[in-house]
Amino acid sequence: MTDSAPRKPVQRAFLGVERSASGLRWVPRLGQAGENRALAMAQNHGLSELIARVLVGRDVPVDDAPAFLDPTLRALMPDPATLTDCDAAVERLMLAIKRSEKVAIFGDYDVDGACSSALLYKFLTTLGLEAEIYIPDRIFEGYGPNPKAIESLIADGAKLIVTVDCGSTSHESLAVAKARGIDVVVIDHHQVGVDLPECRALVNPNREDDLSGQGHLCAAGVVFLVLVAALRALRQSGDMRAGRIDLLSWLDLVALATVCDVVPLKGLNRAYVVKGLIVARAMSNPGLAALFRRAGLSGPVTPYHMGFLIGPRINAGGRIGDAALGSRLLTVEDTEEAEAIAERLDQLNRERQAIETAMLQEAEADAIAEFGDGAGVGVIVTARQGWHPGIVGLLASRLKDRFARPAFAIAFDANGRGTGSGRSIAGFDLGRMVRLAVEDGLLVKGGGHAMAAGLTVTREKLSSLRAFFEDHARDAVEQLAADAVLKIDGALSASGATLDLIDRLEAAGPYGSGHPQPVFALPQHRIGDARVIGAGGHVKVRLVSAEGTPLDAIAFRAADKPLGEALLSARGRSLHVAGTLAGDHWQGQRRVQLRIIDSAMPT
């Protein structure tokens, strides 16, 4: 920008906070134009001003408020035929149903893969077909179809292979199936170029020739659309078995995948989650119900419970245990078997947590020794031999949070081959950087999307890779760090943080990717008590307003971060505190809790 170029006006700081404990500048989410739209929305639709502010702050048009607050599948679901190759996929599924063929379902080892596999399995087996789910081992097979697995499925009698949440770039593996005369249908959502593998159908709203506008869906959301089309075709054919299928009763799986895959909660995704939560609360899926019980669910199911209680437990199977446990849990009908699988996943999750804790201590120590507090650094890259490859994604996420920089964790084996995973900060495209490193010959393979990426690297290329990442990212990341802000939806006092307020806020949810939870600032509240609780280093706080009203609050995993240090050192003094409100269920009682995400000293 030249000196003569127009400069964007600097937004005023909320409560005058120019730099918080977390190094952020607080700003109001709405400018004056947004305030005006919120007022118009409240007046036109009879909404509270608060709800109108929340909706406008999340880019909901004034006239769309009623439909947004009551999302329906009927209104938001497109004709599945608008998905490229959907008709071809349905045609092949119908042929399998007519012939009673054995169908192999090849899924990914994460929650989305497990849910996608379970949806298709339930559909086929309810119709009386024989179906088999195959989930690859994360460590020994890696992501997506591999030739050996394809050969094994064919040897076991599969006449049709359907890949879900994978397959869009599996040229070699799908060529094996084609050579053996076996059709493959791919149902996926990952980014893909123009070079597509040979298969009977490839349904992926992110392929370049797809004009459906549904690229924000997770794989389970795409599978559901394909099944809607298949059920329609089944009914049109006069097949009486169509009456056995109740797709809406499986929306809990679609909601779970949508939340855990962190896809934007907009359009059809919002309807999936809103309606799926209703199904989940009925606990009609024996496996999910068993896992919720094992996880200690209290109160009705929320996106938070799906993302932080259920998701990690299902993923634990793929990270350090049997990758097929998740899909098996979601398809099991026997309650005793469901309890046994849920117990095993819960145990694996505890083991995963222990491994992660030990690895994180090493990773943070290495990162601090090399990068200090991260200031002036473009990308944090940590690597060790002996780390568990299934945990590196979690390490990268923790390092990204700790240093507010894109971060990678790489696990090297004894042969000098490293498996790594990266997580990014908002505004920096990590997947593109990894793809550029592949093109430069620095990686064996790698890919991903803006916020997350995976890679394979040899030890002799590690130094060059670090230098490449740093050169590519430093300036952009430094600018993002300098511009980092916390958007505040409004100010509250402890006395105004009520269950009624939480109920009204929930009406504008569910919240997640693309539809963030409202953030409120509580100005000058005294820290009555602050202490560290739990193995995760959470900081529990008692806030007290000027009127003497107390409010319980918690800052997750904050004990060793600047936020935690600020809270712990402020006992008896006043701070500005910012966070999100939640209705916490404890021993049958529902109470208000503030989840603290930042604090600042009053000026």
> Residue 54 is encoded by which pair of tokens?
């929340």
DSSP 507: T
Torsion over CA: 290, 295, 297, 300 (sign): negative
In CATH, the architecture of 76-248 is Alpha-Beta Complex (3.90)
Beta carbons within 8 Å of 81's beta carbon, 6+ residues apart? 87, 229
Q: Is the Cβ–Cβ distance between 245 and 124 less than 8 Å?
A: no
Walking along the chain (603 residues) 10 residues at a time, the average pLDDT comes out as 48 92 94 96 93 95 94 95 98 97 96 97 98 92 91 98 95 96 96 90 96 96 98 96 96 97 92 97 97 92 94 93 94 97 96 93 94 90 94 94 93 95 92 92 87 92 96 94 91 94 91 92 96 90 95 93 94 96 80 95 91
Q: Is the Cβ–Cβ distance between 470 and 370 less than 8 Å?
A: no
Secondary structure class of 521 (helix, strand, coil): strand
Domain boundaries, the chain: 14-30+489-600, 76-248, 372-484
Confidence (pTM): 0.90
pLDDT digits (tens, 9 = 90+) for 383-438: 999 999 999 999 999 999 889 899 999 999 999 999 999 999 988 999 899 989 99
pLDDT for the residue numbered 3 = 43
* DSSP element (H, E) containing 107: strand 103-107
pLDDT for the residue numbered 589 = 80
Beta carbons within 8 Å of 231's beta carbon, 6+ residues apart? 123, 242, 245, 247
pLDDT for the residue numbered 587 = 67
How many whole angstroms separate alpha carbon 294 and alpha carbon 279?
19
CB-count burial class (<10 Å; 0-12, 13-18, 19+) for 586: exposed
Q: Is the Cβ–Cβ distance between 210 and 204 less than 8 Å?
A: yes
How many whole angstroms separate alpha carbon 69 and alpha carbon 56?
12
pLDDT for the residue numbered 224 = 98
How many whole angstroms separate alpha carbon 540 and alpha carbon 529?
8
**Domain 14-30+489-600 shares a fold with domain 76-248:** no
Q: Which fold has domain 14-30+489-600?
A: OB fold (Dihydrolipoamide Acetyltransferase, E2P) (2.40.50)
Give the strand pairing for 417-423 and 452-458: antiparallel
pLDDT for the residue numbered 5 = 44
Hey, what CATH class is 372-484 in? Answer: alpha beta
Secondary structure class of 162 (helix, strand, coil): strand
pLDDT for the residue numbered 8 = 53
Amino acid at 24: L
